[in-house]
Amino acid sequence: KQEVTQIPAALSVPEGENLVLNCSFTDSAIYNLQWFRQDPGKGLTSLLLIQSSQREQTSGRLNASLDKSSGRSTLYIAASQPGDSATYLCAVIRGGSNYKLTFGKGTLLTVNP
């Protein structure tokens, strides 16, 4: 059974700092890995999707990397802003005919002005 772990569970940083969120998964036979953002009282918003054949994806100040062999992914946020404060979740998927996302429990990020 696939298990996804995110460390740390919570992180507080001053505005402007670069930071890294970590995600690990037990079964390396994944099709892709996604990073989501969840704001309080709201649903999830997809930030980045890395296919299993890729090593990284970038969107603005966000960069996500994937190392399938070691079962790890990182989300790098450059020059953090208070508006980045949210819970960040990673999820892995086995595609094909069975489309199921397995989520980690998330990292609660607080960026202090």
Partner 1 sequence: DAGVIQSPRHEVTEMGQEVTLRCKPISGHDYLFWYRQTMMRGLELLIYFNNNVPIDDSGMPEDRFSAKMPNASFSTLKIQPSEPRDSAVYFCASSSRLGGGFIRSTDTQYFGPGTRLTVL
Which residues here bind partner 1, judged by CB under 8 A? Answer: 31-32, 34, 41-46, 49, 51-52, 89, 91, 93, 95-106
The smaller minimum CB distance to partner 1, of residues 61 and 100, is found at 100
CB of 14 to partner 1, least distance (A): 27
CB of 38 to partner 1, least distance (A): 9
CA pair distance 11, 67, nearest whole angstrom: 23
The smaller minimum CB distance to partner 1, of residues 69 and 98, is found at 98
Q: Which residues are bridge partners to 24 per DSSP?
A: 5, 72
CA pair distance 88, 47, nearest whole angstrom: 9
CB of 113 to partner 1, least distance (A): 27
Q: Say how many C-beta atoms besides its own lie within 10 A of residue 13's C-beta.
A: 16
CB of 84 to partner 1, least distance (A): 19
The smaller minimum CB distance to partner 1, of residues 52 and 74, is found at 52
The answer to whether 5 and 23 have CB atoms below 8 angstroms apart is yes
CA pair distance 51, 32, nearest whole angstrom: 4
